[in-house]
Structure 1
């Protein structure tokens, strides 16, 4: 039987880190080292190991991920059946989402990493790599979008979040749960995720930056008026509850929405921003009427990434509104107030 061809790309992260002379752990291992640490891989797939970067997850950039997306497209065109991207867990929920937006989903792409370094007791890296390659080799994942595999669980890039700083079970999908798991060397799928956000196909030609501002109890939004002069092209406002900010900050949000696209999110981990329930000053209806764009179910971090990619691709305000409108839900139709 011919084994599937899987590309393993290492970007760095805890899974590659060993103790340095200065203390602490830093990226040192290559993709070849990672693959060699899991002899069982030889019975799962025919592998090519490639080290693209050697960075902690927190230092990866959208430009880095654009290069990775291009690499994946080229290798798929050359006959590879799937890919595993190995990186630091700090930003897996972000990078998996960006790769999902920059690739077409016709081949399985799995992002994995480790919560413990390879020298730690109970290091989880080898098991995660084995599970990730097993998932990438399963053609049923084609068309499901980029997934994240850690702790034998398969999560959609659209929903996954890092929910703990240290546990090997750190990754969860609030509001939905994982879409499947790897058990006894086989992929078990329990549900099919909706790819309700279209990929960003236009070239990223603009150096657009998006601010993320959290407005909690008693915030007045005084930071918002300076965003434009600081060079930001868009903003994500992370509110409370179903998408609410203090009444005293509502006008600052309104003024900002006349200068740049402003996306409204919530700090709540699960559930979408409402569009037609609350009508008080600073409520979601008030802010939408003032020009804010509700983000649906996206977390504030992922909304910032989507807005950044859209702005860098030259998307219009109407394009941006459409991109944040989930399929199957009627758009918000709140009329501006007099």
Structure 2
């Protein structure tokens, strides 16, 4: 073979080798770029997942876990879907937090009781004390959601966020609101700005504080509001979380749970036209340690009922004046001489929340009217 024929062959081999090197180099670059991009996506690898906040979801049942035979019917059964199933059914939750779910109960919240309250309080406190979670979400029915929120706010110690969430439509309904509410609840529980704000309720793009939040409509998804103060923040998947003020930093008053449930018996007596003493006498006969009056107007009631409440107070039963009116404060010593009767006024607390606080105060040995009134006075 001549030298002239060898040279073109070598040049062809050289060009092939250069092409192979270029292909290999491009492949390596592509691998590195893809790997870097993959690592940059939150929740896509072990490193990113490790950095996500840890949120514990505690399920109690309620409409948010409800199922109906037909998507077109309003009839459904509460608490049919587990907490784990709820978590798995909402796309994108794993991008917000490292989630774990536990079932505390499977009931409609009309059946909420001290046993479930105690179980929730102990499990949440344990999770925080043992550094198992950075935040907690509790799925709950809406009927008594405000009472559970207020109860937990008064017994949990620490500043880590706890968010109560529910829905007005069952999970199987057309345009169910539960998945969106749960997503936003996890958003709030996972956000470090939520620390120090007490227990919160998150529904329908709003963040409500434990003291004021209440259910205001029987069926509408726009049902939870805080009549005397408004929401403490807003949340949506696009705009994120917007709190209306900085966390106050004030230490919340918290109370110890008794060794065993139930809490002391406290009855709510609803005032109305032509009111007599019978409901009050009935509460006393059944061993009530406290009576909350859902009074007319500024927490008032008929003379017969007031006389019966005065006798109850003289027997050592705690009497708290609240109001059946949705908004406004009950003012001390205006329409009723509270000092004379030995009564306490609920200020801005609804009858149902006044009942919860009265139970906790009695359980903690607080019975003097002055100390009771101090506990009811808003400090925010």
TM-score of the superposition, structure 2-length normalised? 0.79
- Structural mapping, 1:297-312, within 5 Å: 297-312=348-363
Counterpart in 2 of 1:186?
Answer: 240
State how far apart, in whole Å, the 2-side matches of 1:311 and 1:48 are.
35
SS of the equivalent of 2:120 reads helix
State how far apart, in whole Å, the 2-side matches of 1:204 and 1:257 are.
27
Q: Bigger radius of gyration, 1 or 2?
A: 2
Within the alignment, does 1:41 sit opposite 2:90 as a pair?
Answer: no
Check 1:314–1:213 CA distance in 2 against 1; reply closer, same or farther (3 A cut): same
Q: Is the 8 A contact 1:296 1:326 kept in 2?
A: yes
State how far apart, in whole Å, the 2-side matches of 1:18 and 1:129 are.
16
Within the alignment, does 1:18 sit opposite 2:18 as a pair?
Answer: no
State how far apart, in whole Å, the 1-side matches of 2:164 and 2:367 are.
31
Counterpart in 2 of 1:334?
Answer: none
**Aligned residue pairs, count:** 321
Check 1:185–1:37 CA distance in 2 against 1; reply closer, same or farther (3 A cut): farther
Check 1:85–1:206 CA distance in 2 against 1; reply closer, same or farther (3 A cut): closer
The gaps in structure 1 that reach 5 residues or longer are 278-282, 329-338
Q: Is the 8 A contact 1:196 1:327 kept in 2?
A: no
State how far apart, in whole Å, the 2-side matches of 1:26 and 1:247 are.
43
Within the alignment, does 1:243 sit opposite 2:323 as a pair?
Answer: no
Runs of 4+ in 1 over 4 A off after TM superposition: 192-197, 204-207
State how far apart, in whole Å, the 2-side matches of 1:61 and 1:20 are.
28
Counterpart in 1 of 2:273?
Answer: 217
The Cα of 1:204 is off from its aligned counterpart by 4.9
Q: Is the 8 A contact 1:108 1:142 kept in 2?
A: yes
> Among 94, 117, 128, which residue is 2:181 paired with?
128
The Cα of 1:221 is off from its aligned counterpart by 2.5
State how far apart, in whole Å, the 1-side matches of 2:259 and 2:311 are.
28
Counterpart in 2 of 1:76?
Answer: 128
Q: Is the 8 A contact 1:97 1:158 kept in 2?
A: yes
The gaps in structure 2 that reach 5 residues or longer are 1-47
Within the alignment, does 1:59 sit opposite 2:59 as a pair?
Answer: no
> Among 74, 78, 82, which residue is 1:30 paired with?
82
Between 1:167-176 and 1:308-317, the stretch displaced more is 308-317
State how far apart, in whole Å, the 2-side matches of 1:171 and 1:13 are.
16
Within the alignment, does 1:92 sit opposite 2:145 as a pair?
Answer: yes
SS of the equivalent of 1:159 reads coil
Alignment deviations for residues 176-224 of structure 1 (CA, whole Å, 9 cap, x no partner):
1111111325210013577796211253557420010011222123321
State how far apart, in whole Å, the 2-side matches of 1:197 and 1:210 are.
23
State how far apart, in whole Å, the 1-side matches of 2:239 and 2:82 are.
25
TM-score of the superposition, structure 1-length normalised? 0.89
The Cα of 1:323 is off from its aligned counterpart by 1.5
Counterpart in 1 of 2:15?
Answer: none
Indicate the RMSD between aligned Cα atoms, in angstroms.
2.1
Q: Is the 8 A contact 1:206 1:312 kept in 2?
A: no
Q: Is the 8 A contact 2:115 2:261 kept in 1?
A: no
- Structural mapping, 1:274-293, within 5 Å: 274-277=331-334, 283-284=335-336, 286-293=337-344
Q: Is the 8 A contact 2:269 2:291 kept in 1?
A: yes
SS of the equivalent of 1:39 reads coil
State how far apart, in whole Å, the 1-side matches of 2:257 and 2:84 are.
33
Within the alignment, does 1:200 sit opposite 2:252 as a pair?
Answer: no
Q: Is the 8 A contact 2:276 2:302 kept in 1?
A: yes
> Among 207, 210, 227, which residue is 1:154 paired with?
207
Alignment deviations for residues 97-151 of structure 1 (CA, whole Å, 9 cap, x no partner):
0111110241000000110011111101110000000000111111110000000
SS of the equivalent of 1:217 reads coil
> Among 121, 127, 144, which residue is 2:197 paired with?
144
